[in-house]
Amino acid sequence: MGRGKFKGKPTGHRHFSTPEELRAGSSARPRTFRKEEAEVEEEVEQEESEEEIEEEPEKRKGTQGLIEIENPNLAKPKNVKAKDIDMGKTTELSRREREEIEKQKAHERYMKLQEQGKTEQSKKDLERLAMIRQQRAEAAKKREEEKAAKEQKKISQSLILFLPLAPLRYG
């Protein structure tokens, strides 16, 4: 009998059998417990024997036994034993998986054609690349000509500066 709103700990209510009670066989353990243990052991034995016996066709309720129905939405039991599995059977892919694989293959084909230069985009890229190379070559040639012109101008200016310094001889 607890006081207040809090309950006492349940450990105080436990009853343990004394060694004398155990020897005498008059323990406080309920008799139904022994029966329950026996029932559990029998169930385990029955389950083992059921595994050995092949499955019998299940009884169907109502009109299910009379009419064979092919309902694709009907949930089928997925319990399959290891010995019944067909290793040669391949599972069908879902629509999404199939589409994903097709998409990857198409992308690989496109990239292969792209490398070979057979697609429109690769042809445009190659034309653009050729134009850029040509422009760069022209720019490099122009730079070389400007550099050569600059050096020529430098040399001519240096000659002009040195010429007046030379004494003029009239003869």
pLDDT at 55 exceeding the cut of 70:
no
Tell me what pLDDT residue 16 has.
Answer: 74
Contact of 119 with 109, CB cutoff 8 Å: no
The token pair at 42 is: 């029998």
Q: How far apart are CA 44 and CA 32, in angstroms?
A: 19
Tell me what pLDDT residue 77 has.
Answer: 66
pLDDT at 73 exceeding the cut of 70:
yes
Residue (of 35, 37, 30) closest to 15 by Cα position:
30
Tell me what pLDDT residue 109 has.
Answer: 93
Please give the residue that has the higher pLDDT: either 71 or 110. 110
Q: SS3 for 60-129, per residue? A: CCHHHHCCCCCCCCCCCCCCCCHHHCCCCCCCCCCHHHHHHHHHHHHHHHHHHHHHHCCCHHHHHHHHHH
169 confidence band (pLDDT: 50, 70, 90):
low
Segment among 78-92, 112-126, 145-159 with least mean pLDDT: 78-92
Task: Tell the residue number behind the tokens 């730079």, with chain if given.
Answer: 143
The string of pLDDT tens digits covering residues 91-129 is 788 899 999 999 999 999 999 998 888 888 888 988 999
159 sits in which H/E element: helix 120-162
Q: How far apart are CA 77 and CA 57, in angstroms?
A: 13
Segment among 1-5, 84-88, 112-116 with least mean pLDDT: 1-5
SS3 assignment, position 168 = coil
